Amino acid sequence: MSSVAAGKHVVVIGGGFAGLQAAKALARTGADVTLIDRNNYHLFQPLSYQVATGALAPSEIAIPLRHVFRRRKRVRVLLGEVGGFELGRRELAVTDPGSGEQVTLTYDQLIVAGGSDYSYFGHEDWRSVALEVKSLDSALEVRGRILHAFEAAELRPDEQEAWLTFLVVGGGPTGVEMAGQIAELARETLAGEYRAIDSRRGRVLLVETADKVLSAFPNPLPERAATSLEQLGVTLMLNQTVVEVDRDCVTIEDRRGAQTQVPTRTVVWAAGVTASPLARQLAEASGASVDRAGRLTVEPDLSLPGHPEVVALGDMVSVRDPDSDRLITYPGLAPVAMQQGRYAGKMVAARLTGAAAPPPFRYRDKGMLATIGRDRAVAQVWRLHFSGRIAWVAWLLVHIYYLIGFENRIVVMLRWADSYVTRGRGSRLITEAADLPSKDRSAV
């Protein structure tokens, strides 16, 4: 196989789970592969929320992309922002985020896995106040802001109520995990470390528009998760929607239109998904359509309609069902992205070598997991479901297994074992990534 694809150039955009698997599959074909990402690392995103509360250090869940491919001499990794698709000429532009300099690349086959972002319900101005924890940079900012809130309360105990109120928006897995982590931080890790305040009095509010958390999980897991959260001290605010976000206050509204103002200075956003802007760029370049969440519509084999040489996948696409012609939106989970990445790699390899194309993509659902805290998790595997410690152990094993691509998994396991025993968090640093509003550092 390796000689047949030689001399062909495949460009893969995005070094997340989808792009990484696609590039790995293609690395074995003899084609020249260029993998482009705006970060120099692959992030194990399901654990980025643990960076946001100091449980793990960034380098424990992020690995340099070019280190992954260091022995694959036909794989070139580039750091850059992608844009300017010229599908007719099979060209695109890559911009260095540091210097702004731009180069043009040509390709024979193109794989686009740009991922997704949070939508903020159309309120872009909330973004600077209500940070997300999906990206590493933002998770580091959240870590700094949460830790700073406790520090500010210790300095000004008279203002501790607003500083010690933490509001998480969105009751999906990320929101549930964040709320549980902040509650554990306040009640266990930081307990006894302050003198003017009691960190255990910190309030964690979880706001969710639906009438339950983890609504993608089967019953009775949402109720189990709710009970676990309440045991950790999280206040659930179900059937409530955020209607205003200010630096000192969040306004929420219930289904009858009654509003509540919550004084808080720390808001974490985990609600509403929108596809990468690359989806719209590809739609405009090709005439394909995007759905309400900005996802690009692709064929059953993940290719762009009218452009079999372009494959788009992961969180940024909806897939046309070959049977019903309806659109399938897969959940934004790592297993979906990995399966689509491997599929895309195989399909493009088949195109390059003239082999038979694989049948349309089908997702093999192996289950879902969400952790709430130490010893608390919910899991659904096929038609079975678990909660409590057994689900938490399953969560631990699955994540250790998938971190095996990471060379520092021993370090991560040691860290986890240590936090489990001591209830500590080893990375509780406020660095400049915290991006606190005022940063005049003229004195100590």
The helix, strand and coil proportions of the chain, stated in percent and rounded to the nearest 5, come to: 35, 25, 40
Q: Which is nearer to a second copy, 325 or 440 (CB)?
A: 440
**Within 372-411, which residues bind a second copy (CB under 8 A)?**
407-408, 410-411
Six token digits for residue 389: 């410690």
Does the footprint of a second copy cover residue 416 (CB under 8 A)?
Answer: no
Q: Shortest approach of a second copy to residue 93 CB, angstroms?
A: 9
Angstrom distances, CA of residue 24 to CA of 146, 148, 241:
37, 41, 42
Q: Which is nearer to a second copy, 231 or 431 (CB)?
A: 431
Does the footprint of a second copy cover residue 341 (CB under 8 A)?
Answer: no
Contact by Cβ (8 Å): 304, 311: yes
Q: Which is nearer to a second copy, 129 or 377 (CB)?
A: 129
**Within 184-243, which residues bind a second copy (CB under 8 A)?**
192-196
Pairing of β 273-275 and β 116-118: antiparallel
Does the footprint of a second copy cover residue 124 (CB under 8 A)?
Answer: no
- Kindly give the interhelix angle for 17-27 and 334-353, rounded to the nearest 10 degrees: 30
State which H helix or E strand residue 27 sits in: helix 17-27
Does the footprint of a second copy cover residue 96 (CB under 8 A)?
Answer: yes
Six token digits for residue 396: 């631990």
Does the footprint of a second copy cover residue 161 (CB under 8 A)?
Answer: no
Q: Which is nearer to a second copy, 158 or 325 (CB)?
A: 158
Q: Is the dihedral of CA 333, 338, 341, 346 positive or negative?
A: negative
Q: How would DSSP label each residue in 372-412? A: EETTEEEEEETTEEEETHHHHHHHHHHHHHHGGGSTTHHHH
**Within 14-53, which residues bind a second copy (CB under 8 A)?**
14, 36-41
Give the one residue of 218, 220, 277, 358 binding a second copy; rule: CB under 8 A.
277
* Residue 177 annotated in active site: yes
Give the one residue of 88, 122, 257, 437 binding a second copy; rule: CB under 8 A.
437
Q: Which is nearer to a second copy, 114 or 175 (CB)?
A: 114
Does the footprint of a second copy cover residue 82 (CB under 8 A)?
Answer: yes
Does the footprint of a second copy cover residue 371 (CB under 8 A)?
Answer: no
Does the footprint of a second copy cover residue 67 (CB under 8 A)?
Answer: yes
**CA–CA dist 349, 356 (Å, integer):** 10
Side by side, which strands form the sheet with 102-106?
A: 81-86, 91-95, 102-106
The number of residues that bind a second copy (CB under 8 A) is 84
Residue in 177, 188, 208, 299 annotated catalytic: 177
Q: Shortest approach of a second copy to residue 70 CB, angstroms?
A: 5
Catalytic residues: 177
